[in-house]
Amino acid sequence: MSAIDELKSISTKKHVVTSIEYDCPSQEKEDEVFDTVQGILKHHLDEVAKITYDLEADDKVKVEVTQNL
């Protein structure tokens, strides 16, 4: 069992925050990330407390998801 799995196994209400930074050298890659975020909102809205999509400098896109567990 990983360290994260051990923390998730604690029996109480919790929120898990995942942050992923993508290198997107093209508009197509930015669109792929954005479309995926839209799909999460469409199909997994009940699992998500918060989701952010930020365009950053140097062709970076940062997505942060707070999940209800």
Condensed to tens digits (0 to 9), the pLDDT of residues 16-52 reads 899 999 999 999 999 999 999 999 999 998 889 999 9
Number of neighbouring beta carbons within 10 Å of residue 61 = 19
- Above 90 in pLDDT, residue 69? no
Give the single-character DSSP code of 12: S
Amino acid at 52: T
Cβ contacts of 18 within 8 Å, gap of 6 or more = 64, 65, 67
Rounded to the nearest 5°, which phi and psi values hold at 4?
-65, -40
- Above 90 in pLDDT, residue 4? no
Q: Which two tokens stand for residue 8?
A: 């998730």
- Above 90 in pLDDT, residue 68? no
Confidence at residue 20, expressed as pLDDT on a 0 to 100 scale: 97
